[in-house]
Amino acid sequence: MATYDIGVIPGDGIGLEVTAEALKVLEAVAETESFGYARVDYPYSGEYYLKTKELVPSSVIDEWRTLDAVLLGAIGHPDVEPGLVERSVILGLRFGLDLYVNLRPIRLYSEHLCPLKGKTPADIDFVVVRENTEGMYSQIGGHLKKGTPDEVALVNGVYTWKGCERASRYAYELAVKRANARGPKVTLVDKANAIRPHDIWTRAFAHVGEEFPTVEQDHAYVDACCMWMIKNPEWFDVIVTTNLFGDIITDLGAMLQGGMGIAASGNIHPGRTSMFEPIHGSAPKHAGRNVACPLGAINAVAMMLDYLGETRAAQRIDDAVADLLRSGEVKSADARSGISTSDMGDRVVARLRN
């Protein structure tokens, strides 16, 4: 029997509540599948930092490399300098484990969840492959004469041939694997008109594309991409894009699916320890109130199991979530659904046990 070592970092705010539901679902699905798992808990969070002044030490990043996967809730605390703990934990995982793909499916489960008029589940079903270790997130930059009228702030956008190539290849392979009616098609999203160095993406994308003659190559500048995502989301199959643009367009994508409470992501380096998380943050205003929607975290468990090769277990969770959302029980996939965090988890578990 396969047994997986799963690192668990609930983090801050609603991260704790949604992770509890995600683990409940993992436990329920494991009951009737032939795999086992061992949980390794990690305390890193803004809350923990305030108490201990401790961020993630490099020895722990080494330890993470020995696990099969990591499940993360959310990081961010209102009393901690913005980004300090996020960079340590989230970017520590992404950069430290070289998780070069951030895979973000955008799929509408039920028409009533979509804010767009007249769009159905058949129209909204695409995947964003966000490059996850470079771009504007490189952390190369800084300030000069900070706090004076002469202050200069610089940040470098880093795009390597290797980074563009491997993200593009992942996107093409995914399009082939999805083999759906609108594809296989990959849309490169960049801003190579205003930011000319983005042309490294144009060339790497075309170069790798030669290996995939059956996949249609498409392109959109990021501003137009936002417009098409609202106007004609049915045109997209797989999108590949830079780290920052991927961050931005997937919040927009989450709304197309029904809200931040439902969107999940996988931070992946094929063949290595990868990390799975809902795309929402710690939402301090909802924390501790048992109102946050745990479906994003639950979907992250499905993505993790799929990554680990437990495809049937992953599919069962996906089916349970889809069934719940189509049942009419859930008015919205957010903090105003009227269904508590724990109740939402229970409803998924009930369907798994059914």
Which option in ligand IPM, Mg ion, none does residue 239 bind, with CB closer than 5 to 8 A by kind? none
d(CA 47, CA 43): 9
d(CA 233, CA 256): 9
Give the one residue of 8, 9, 90, 325 binding ligand IPM; rule: CB under 6 A.
90
Tokens describing residue 165 = 């190539």
* Shortest separation between residue 13's beta carbon and ligand IPM, angstroms: 12
* Shortest separation between residue 293's beta carbon and ligand IPM, angstroms: 17
d(CA 317, CA 134): 32
The window from 91-99, 111-119, 246-254, 288-296 that contacts Mg ion (CB under 5 A) reads 246-254
Q: What are phi and psi of 190, to 5 degrees?
A: -150, -165
Give the one residue of 131, 247, 306, 318 binding ligand IPM; rule: CB under 6 A.
247
Residue nearest to Mg ion (CB): 247
Kindly state the DSSP code that residue 340 receives in the 8-state scheme. Answer: -
264, 317 contact by CB (below 8 A)? no
- 247 sits near Mg ion (criterion: CB under 5 A): yes
Three-class secondary structure of residue 348 per DSSP: helix
Which option in ligand IPM, Mg ion, none does residue 121 bind, with CB closer than 5 to 8 A by kind? none
Please, which residue, 255 or 308, has the CB nearer to Mg ion?
255
Active-site residue 137, yes or no?
yes
Number of residues that bind Mg ion (CB under 5 A): 1
Q: Of the residues 4, 48, 49, 137, which is catalytic? A: 137
Give the one residue of 186, 279, 304, 349 binding ligand IPM; rule: CB under 6 A.
279
Residue nearest to ligand IPM (CB): 86
Number of residues that bind ligand IPM (CB under 6 A): 5
d(CA 240, CA 290): 35
Active-site residue 223, yes or no?
yes
Q: Of the residues 123, 247, 306, 318, which is catalytic? A: 247
* Shortest separation between residue 116's beta carbon and ligand IPM, angstroms: 22
Give, in order, the Cα–Cα distances in Å from 345 to each of 114, 299, 339, 342, 353. 22, 11, 10, 5, 12
* Shortest separation between residue 279's beta carbon and ligand IPM, angstroms: 5
Tokens describing residue 45 = 């969070």
Prior bond of 82 cis (ω within 30°): no
Active-site residue 237, yes or no?
no
Which option in Mg ion, ligand IPM, none does residue 90 bind, with CB closer than 5 to 8 A by kind? ligand IPM
Active-site residue 145, yes or no?
no
Active-site residue 247, yes or no?
yes
3-state secondary structure string across 209-251: HCCCCCCEEEEEEHHHHHHHHHHCHHHCCEEEECHHHHHHHHH
Angle at 224 between CA 283 and CA 157, to 5 degrees: 65
Binding site for ligand IPM (CB under 6 A): 86, 90, 247, 279, 281
| Active-site residue list | 137, 191, 223, 247, 251
